[in-house]
Amino acid sequence: MSATPQKSSWLTPSLDWLLVFVPVAFALRYVPAWQNQTALFLVSALAIIPIAGWMGHATEQLAHRMGEGIGGLLNASFGNAAELIIALMALRAGHIEVVKASIVGSIIGNLLLVLGVSIFAGGLRYKHQRFNKTAARSSCTALILAAAALVIPTVFHQTAAQTPGGWTPRAEQNLSLAIAVVLIATYGAMLVFSLVTHKQLFVGGEADIGDDTVGNADDDHTEAPWSVRKAVGVLLGATVAVAWVSEFLVGAVEAAQHSLGVTETFVGVIIVAIVGNAAEHSTAITMALKNKMDLALGIAVGSSLQIALFVAPVLVFASYAFPHQLNLEFTMPEIVAVVMAAFVTDQIAGDGESNWLEGVQLLALYLILGVLFYFLPAAH
C-alpha cells in the first residue's frame, strides 16, 4: 500500500515534488566541492520518499495485473520494501542499533503517527467513522503477539545473566533465530487468513455516511492501468534507486547524528522510520478523508504487522550474510514503546468506530515517545 500517483495538474501538491532532491543527493555524494555529510543525510532522506512512493505504486499495478491471489501476496511481500532495503544497507554498514531502532520506529510510527493523523483528519470531516471490528481485532491480536516476541529475548537476557554461564551471545542469537522462524510462520498464517479463508473481512466497502457527514468526501481519481512491462520496469528502477540513495543515507548517519546532536536510536526510531513509511502515510490519510477507514486502518496496522512479522525476521536471516548478526533483543524503552503502541491501538480499534479525539490520543503518545527517544542517552 502506497501513495498512488494520479492524473492532476503539476501545480497540485504531490510527493513527486520531492524528486528534485534525487539529483541533489547524487551531486552531494559525487561532486567533491559539494560534499557535506549532514546535507547528504537530510537530502537523501527526502529523496527516498517519492521513490518509495513509485515503488509501492508499481507493486500495486503489478498486483492488479496478476490477479487477486498473487496480487495480494505481492502487496503483502513488497509493501515495506523501502524499509527493508534501507535496513539492509544499514546492516551491511554495521549500524545494528539503527536497524533495531528503525524496526521499532516503523511499528510505532504506523500505529501512532499514521493511524493517529488518519483518524484525526477523518474525524474532522465525519463525526464517527466505522470499520470492520473483527478484522481490526485479528490484526491487533497479531500485533500483541509480535510485541511479546520482542520482549522475550530481553527477558531471557536479564534472567539468564543472573545465572553463571546462563547467558551467552550465541544462545541469544539462537533464541532470536527461533523466534524469527515463528514470526514468519505466523505471517504466513496471517496471509492465508486475509487472502484466502477470511478475505471478505479485509475488503473495505463503501462507508455508510448518513447523518454523520460534516463534509463531502472527494471523488476518486482513476488512471489507466499500467502494462506488466511498465510496472516491472518502474519497480526495478525504483528499487535500484532506493538502494542507491539508501546507501548515501546510511553512509552519512554517523556524521549527521553528531552534527544534529541526536543518537543512533533517535535516527532509527524517528527519522529513518518516517522516511521509509512516508508514501504509505499519505495514502492512509487520503483514505480516511474519503471515509474509508477499513482501508486506512488496513494500511497502518497492516504495515506494522509486515514490519514485525515479516521484515524483522527477514533481517535476522539476512544478517548472517554480513559480519554482524542481528538479534531481537531490544532496549527497555524500545520494548515499552512497541507494547504501549499495540495496546492503545487495540483499545481504539476494539469498538469498530473512531472519532477525532482518538486520533489526538494516538498522536499524543507518539509525541511522548518521540521526546523520550530524543532525550534518551546513547548506549555505550
- The yes-or-no verdict on residue 216 having pLDDT over 70 is no
Lowest mean pLDDT among 127-136, 169-178, 359-368: 127-136
Tens digit of each residue's pLDDT (9 = 90 or more) over 274-322: 888 777 777 888 889 989 888 888 888 888 888 999 999 999 999 999 9
Q: Report the alpha-carbon distance of residue 338 to residue 106 in Å, rounded.
A: 10
Residue 123 pLDDT: 92
Residue 316 pLDDT: 95
Residue 191 pLDDT: 82
Tens digit of each residue's pLDDT (9 = 90 or more) over 90-143: 999 989 999 999 999 999 999 999 999 999 999 999 988 888 888 788 888 888
Tens digit of each residue's pLDDT (9 = 90 or more) over 230-281: 888 988 898 899 999 999 999 898 888 888 888 889 999 998 888 887 777 7
Looking at every residue in the chain, the average pLDDT score rounds to 83
pLDDT over 70 percentage in the chain: 86
- The yes-or-no verdict on residue 7 having pLDDT over 50 is no
- The yes-or-no verdict on residue 77 having pLDDT over 80 is no
Q: Are 146 and 305 in contact (CB under 8 A)?
A: yes
Residue 20 pLDDT: 92
- Name, in order, each residue with C-beta under 8 angstroms of 305's C-beta and a sequence gap of 6 or more: 139, 142, 143, 146, 187, 190
Lowest mean pLDDT among 39-48, 203-212, 241-250, 251-260: 203-212
Residue 160 pLDDT: 81
Residue 218 pLDDT: 42
Task: Report which of residues 344 and 217 the model is more confident about.
Answer: 344
SS3 letters for the chain?
A: CCCCCCCCCCCCCCHHHHHHHHHHHHHHHHCHHHCCHHHHHHHHHHHHHHHHHHHHHHHHHHHHHHCHHHHHHHHHHHCCHHHHHHHHHHHHCCCHHHHHHHHHHHHHHHHHHHHHHHHHHHHHHECCEECCHHHHHHHHHHHHHHHHHHHHHHHHHHHHCCCCCCCCHHHHHHHHHHHHHHHHHHHHHHHHHHHHHCHHHHCCCCCCCHHHECCCCCCCCCCCCCCHHHHHHHHHHHHHHHHHHHHHHHHCHHHHHHHHCCCHHHHHHHHHHHHHHHHHHHHHHHHHHCCCHHHHHHHHHHHHHHHHHHHHHHHHHHHHHCCCCCCCCCCHHHHHHHHHHHHHHHHHHCCCEECHHHHHHHHHHHHHHHHHHHHCCCCC
Q: Report the alpha-carbon distance of residue 88 to residue 56 in Å, rounded.
A: 18
Give the global pTM. 0.85
Mean pLDDT of 320-326: 91
- Chain-centre distance of CA 205, in angstroms? 24
Confidence of residue 340 (pLDDT cuts 50, 70, 90): very high
Residue 302 pLDDT: 84
Task: Report which of residues 241 and 74 the model is more confident about.
Answer: 241
Residue 67 pLDDT: 63
- The yes-or-no verdict on residue 326 having pLDDT over 90 is yes
- Chain-centre distance of CA 133, in angstroms? 22
- The yes-or-no verdict on residue 212 having pLDDT over 60 is no
Q: Are 89 and 243 in contact (CB under 8 A)?
A: yes
- The yes-or-no verdict on residue 69 having pLDDT over 80 is no
- The yes-or-no verdict on residue 204 having pLDDT over 60 is no
Task: Report which of residues 13 and 54 the model is more confident about.
Answer: 54
